[in-house]
Amino acid sequence: MNEKKRPKAVIVGGSIAGVSCAHSLILAGWDVAVLEKSCAPPTGSPTGAGLGLDPLARTLIGTWIKSHQLLHNTTLPLTFDQNQATDGEKKVSWTVTRDEKFNFRAAYWADLHDLLYNALPPNIFLWGHLFSSFSVCNDKKAVKVKAKVLQTEEIVDVVGDLLVAADGCLSSIRRSFLPDLKLRYAGYCAWRGVLDFSENENSDTIVSIRKAYPDLGRCLYFDLGSSTHIGLYELQRKNLNWIWYINQPEPELKKNSVTMKVTDDMIQKMHQEAEKIWDPALARVIKETKEPFINVIYDSDPLQQLYWDNVVLVGDAAHPTTPHGLRSTNMSLLDAAVLGACLDKWGREKLESALEEYQSIRLPVVAKQALHSRRMGRLKQGLVLETGKTFDLKTANSEDCEELQQKNMPYFADAPLPVGSRYACSTP
Ligand SMILES: Cc1cc2nc3c(=O)[nH]c(=O)nc-3n(C[C@H](O)[C@H](O)[C@H](O)COP(=O)(O)OP(=O)(O)OC[C@H]3O[C@@H](n4cnc5c(N)ncnc54)[C@H](O)[C@@H]3O)c2cc1C
Ligand SMILES: *[C@@H]1O[C@H](CO)[C@@H](O)[C@H](O)[C@H]1NC(C)=O
Ligand SMILES: *[C@@H]1O[C@H](CO)[C@@H](O)[C@H](O)[C@H]1NC(C)=O
């Protein structure tokens, strides 16, 4: 009898926010169905690149996958957060700031997704299901979702008590409520890639990059050039992750994606630029990276609300953000944990109170963090700030430089969780 009474959520999007919500809602006693347009789990393929996880993020993941050790083994430490500057002409670098108590860890996107996905019960994922529309029915007590099964072109209905939009920064569910919301182009794109050096650990390139960046394997490096910057850190299984931001006019995006196809010609030009701007060892890492790609960087001004009736936004759908604060994953995980805790606390009968509390806890945090990340990006790219000033290493004093550090992120170590929930407060 109890089985029948379990409330059900339909989650659209099976990336980090979607799998995390699946975990937290199951813990809250909900049934879930996850609709994902990709046809299969991304397992095994070199999907995505690196991301940073703070201590609470790791606690939550460890709880969901029931092994802190496994997550630990899959990640590498980012104990230091270091900003340095490079003079491309003279090929010299110097340290600008160094925080030795950073305590993040670095994961490969695909590895993290794998861990979270494999720890879910079987049969809750509907792969190859493209969400197309939804309608709220039964006095706002139910929601009916229509999706197209990509393999057969068949249209199916999935009905639940709650629709969770985890469909990313270009969310079509968000668009149905906010048709006029436009993402803001950051003013720059990012070239990124991962160099797999498992076959040649002792190559000249690897030996020289370790010499130039001696704390690789435990440090989040940012290198600042003139109106450009690059992030560099190591990932498990002998991989180097880099992400290089370049100011340019907004490119035209062909598909519904913020990742851009690149031509050999573009790659060659990028390699030439790298030689001019960065340390020779770093330029070599960039040149030896197979299949680098471009992310066009967007965010949005903070939303005013995160739910409408029984439809709620989580992850990038709720707060498109630039990557400078290493927040996207963190925010997605915490959205999921808070949503689960609120649903657990209020029960299905008080769904609106649960969503209201979720919104009131998350909105102030994600709004401040996204705006802070925007500012960090503009600072490091030498773009004009709200004050009309620009950050310039040549004239910056030490106080200006302090601003470059990750630890200045609002709510850096104390984002709130709902009061009085059963399982949300398992902080280390
Ligand atoms: C393949 C992939 C690789 C990534 N790699 C990295 C990385 O290396 N480093 C990093 O920092 N961030 C990466 N990200 C982004 C990162 O996951 C997000 O920034 C953050 O974790 C928030 O995730 P999200 O789940 O809210 O959104 P997203 O990760 O954007 O996921 C949205 C999901 O919704 C699905 N979806 C969208 N529309 C529909 C629809 N109509 N029907 C069904 N499904 C739909 C998409 O296929 C996608 O799986 C990656 C995202 C993806 C999808
Ligand atoms: C996310 O970051 C906030 C600080 O910004 C931190 O308080 C919180 O513990 C982190 N949460 C997760 C789930 O990582
Ligand atoms: C993690 O790594 C350690 C050391 O290599 C190993 O002993 C342990 O079994 C691993 N644990 C898991 C859960 O993978």
- Rounded to whole angstroms, the Cα distance separating 166 from 314 reads 5
Give Cα 292 distance to the centre of its chain. 18
In tens, the pLDDT along 174-206 reads 999 999 999 999 999 999 999 999 999 999 999
pLDDT for the residue numbered 1: 47
Which residues does 125 contact at the CB level (< 8 Å), separation at least 6? 14, 34, 36, 41, 117
pLDDT for the residue numbered 425: 44
Asked whether 16 lines ligand 1 (CB < 6 A), one says yes
For residue 81, give the H/E element and its range. Answer: strand 80-87
High-pLDDT (> 90) share of the chain, %: 86
Which residues does 227 contact at the CB level (< 8 Å), separation at least 6? 247, 381, 382, 383
Q: Find the mean pLDDT for residues 141-153.
A: 97
Query: Each residue of 391-424: b (16+ CB within 10 Å) or e?
Result: bebeebeeeebeebbbeebeeeeebebbeebeeb
Please say if the pLDDT value at position 239 is more than 60.
yes
- Could you tell me how many helices (H) and strands (E) the chain has, helices first? 12, 20
Asked whether 166 lines ligand 1 (CB < 6 A), one says yes
Q: Are 103 and 82 in contact (CB under 8 A)?
A: no
Protein residues whose CB sits closer than 6 Å to any atom of ligand 2: 54, 56-57, 60, 330, 333-334, 337, 369, 409, 411-415
Please say if the pLDDT value at position 364 is more than 80.
yes
Ligand nearest, relative to CA of residue 34: 1
Please say if the pLDDT value at position 231 is more than 50.
yes
Three-class secondary structure of residue 135 per DSSP: strand
Dihedrals phi, psi of 38, to nearest 5 degrees: -60, 145
Asked whether 48 lines ligand 1 (CB < 6 A), one says yes
Bridge partner list, 138: none
**Residue nearest atom 5 in ligand 3 by C-alpha distance:** 73
Q: Please tell me the distance between residue 39's alpha carbon and the centre of ligand 3 in angstroms.
A: 31
Tokens 């519904």 correspond to what residue?
Answer: 256
Q: Find the mean pLDDT for residues 293-307.
A: 97
Global pTM reads 0.94
For residue 20, give the H/E element and its range. Answer: helix 16-27
Asked whether 69 lines ligand 3 (CB < 6 A), one says yes
Task: Among 61, 69, 114, say which to mutate for ligand 3: greatest number of ligand atoms within 8 Å of CB.
Answer: 69
Three-class secondary structure of residue 360 per DSSP: helix
Q: Are 240 and 234 in contact (CB under 8 A)?
A: yes
Q: Please tell me the distance between residue 167's alpha carbon and the centre of ligand 1 in angstroms.
A: 7
Residue 91 zone, left/alpha/beta (φ > 0; ψ -120 to 50; rest): left
Quickly state the pLDDT bin for 418 (edges 50, 70, 90): confident
Q: Which whole-number Å values give the CA distances from 211 to 196, 284, 372, in the listed order?
A: 18, 13, 33
Q: CA torsion sign, 339 to 411 to 113 to 12? A: positive
Residue 413 CA, closest ligand 2 atom number:
7
Bridge partner list, 94: 85
Q: Please tell me the distance between residue 70's alpha carbon and the centre of ligand 3 in angstroms.
A: 7
For residue 365, give the H/E element and its range. Answer: helix 351-380
| Six token digits for residue 114 | 């794998």
Please say if the pLDDT value at position 426 is more than 70.
no
Quickly state the pLDDT bin for 414 (edges 50, 70, 90): confident
Please say if the pLDDT value at position 427 is more than 50.
no
- Rounded to whole angstroms, the Cα distance separating 326 from 103 reads 13
Q: Find the mean pLDDT for residues 120-133.
A: 97
Q: Please tell me the distance between residue 209's alpha carbon and the centre of ligand 1 in angstroms.
A: 31
Residue 72 CA, closest ligand 3 atom number:
1
355: burial class by Cβ within 10 Å (0-12, 13-18, 19+)? buried
Three-class secondary structure of residue 84 per DSSP: strand
Asked whether 67 lines ligand 3 (CB < 6 A), one says yes
- Rounded to whole angstroms, the Cα distance separating 390 from 392 reads 6
Q: Please tell me the distance between residue 13's alpha carbon and the centre of ligand 1 in angstroms.
A: 8
Q: Please tell me the distance between residue 201's alpha carbon and the centre of ligand 1 in angstroms.
A: 31
Order of strands, edge to edge, in the sheet holding 92-99? Answer: 92-99, 80-87, 219-224, 228-235, 239-247, 184-196, 293-299, 259-260
Q: Which amino acid is at 326?
A: L
**Residue nearest atom 9 in ligand 2 by C-alpha distance:** 56
- Rounded to whole angstroms, the Cα distance separating 84 from 82 reads 6
Q: Please tell me the distance between residue 323's alpha carbon and the centre of ligand 2 in angstroms.
A: 15
Q: Considering only CA atoms, which of 299, 325, 343 is closest in space to residue 11?
A: 343
Q: Please tell me the distance between residue 9's alpha carbon and the centre of ligand 1 in angstroms.
A: 19
Higher local confidence (pLDDT), 255 or 269: 269
Dihedrals phi, psi of 294, to nearest 5 degrees: -115, 130
Please say if the pLDDT value at position 323 is more than 50.
yes
Q: Find the mean pLDDT for residues 88-117.
A: 94
Q: Please tell me the distance between residue 202's alpha carbon and the centre of ligand 3 in angstroms.
A: 25
Three-class secondary structure of residue 179 per DSSP: coil
> What's the CATH code, domain 8-53+110-182+301-384?
3.50.50.60
Residue 67 CA, closest ligand 3 atom number:
13
Please say if the pLDDT value at position 405 is more than 60.
yes
Q: Are 122 and 33 in contact (CB under 8 A)?
A: no
Bridge partner list, 220: 81
Query: Each residue of 307-327: b (16+ CB within 10 Å) or e?
Result: bbebbbbbbbbbbbbbbbbbb
Asked whether 73 lines ligand 3 (CB < 6 A), one says yes
